[in-house]
Structures are given as structure tokens and as C-alpha cells.
Amino acid sequence: MGAELVVNAFIAAVGRKDLDAALALVAADCYYDNVPLGEMRGTEKMREFLAPIFAGEGALEFEILRQTCTGNRVMNERIDRFVMKGRQIALPVVGVFEVNEGKITFWRDYFDNGMFMKALAGE
């Protein structure tokens, strides 16, 4: 499966709130950097970080606005929509992914943490 298809399948699994299916597309030693919040390595750390979002109330969606793929690198601009602490969040994000041997080996998301905190506060 090509890099863009792997990332698209990952995003589809996110939309289904299927954490197991999403992480099945991620290499065991994947480097994940959620830029304002910190970096981690490995699917177990990713599971710990992502599980509360996947288990939260309401829908979880990564709406892709633009996406490009060159070789094994995929970049997308998207709106991440989810509910946290009873608040509907719609957060603009830019994601960078690298895929090797059919698995995501690198994932970095950029977003404005100030915007996220305001949305969480209901501002």
C-alpha cells in the first residue's frame, strides 16, 4: 500500500474511533510529535495519549482540506474535530507523515495551542 493510502486508511480509522485499526497502521517504534504538547516514540505511548480522545463523547474527525504526497511523505492540512471536557473542538492542524514498508514511522502535528486552550475554555 502506498504512503498516501496508508495515511488515508489511518485517518479513516480515526473517524471510526477505532484506535486498534489506526495503530495497526503505525510502526511499533513510530516517532510521534504533537508539537505544542510533546513527542513520544512507540505505539504504546501513542495509545496512552490518544485513548482519551478516542474514548471521548461525540464524533472524532480529521477533515482533510488539502493533502499532498511525495514518495513516502504525506502532508495534510486539516480540521480535527472532537469533544473534550464537554466542548466541541474544531482545531486547524497541519500533519506530516512518513510511511515505510506500509507503516507510519513518523507523525508530526502542528497546531496553535493557544487556539486549542481558548476552544477548551469556551471562548
- Report, as residue numbers or ranges, the catalytic residues: 80, 109
Cell numbers standing for residue 36 = 505544542
Cβ count within 10 A of residue 93: 19
Q: How far apart are CA 20 and CA 97, in angstroms?
A: 19
Strands 73-84 and 87-100: antiparallel
Q: Which helix (H) or strand (E) holds 71?
A: none
